[in-house]
Amino acid sequence: MSVVGSLIGLVLTLFMLVLIARLVLDWIMTLSDNPQGIRRPREIVHRMTEPVIAPVRRVLKPIRVGGIQIDLAFTVVFIAVLILREVAVSL
């Protein structure tokens, strides 16, 4: 395992943790009656992840299922980060 692979793996792991934080904060925001304390952390996490998710979302539009929309771009980015992390660590 090389130093470069380990460093890239670390960066991708940190980005994956930020993606998980985005997921949790979005769910809290959706399910909470009074999400006032969540707004600022959610904005920060969105600002960190949106530059990666937005281009994928332009290609892969959200799917409407009944009255809800499912954003597949987040899932695709998350899986891509998992795969890239495994590749980077194996270098």
Over residues 30-82, the pLDDT tens digits come to: 888 777 888 899 999 999 999 999 999 999 988 999 888 888 999 999 999 99
Dihedral (Cα; 50, 69, 25, 11), 10-degree rounding: -40
Q: How many CB atoms are located within 10 Å of the residue 29 CB? A: 13
pLDDT at 1: 64
Q: Hey, where are the domains in the chain?
A: 3-89
Band of pLDDT at residue 89, cut at 50, 70 and 90: confident
Q: Alpha-carbon distance 38 to 29, whole Å? A: 7
| Element housing 70 (H / E) | strand 68-70
Greater pLDDT, 51 or 90: 51
pLDDT at 68: 86
pLDDT at 35: 78
Side chain identity at 42, as an amino acid letter? R
pTM given for the model: 0.88
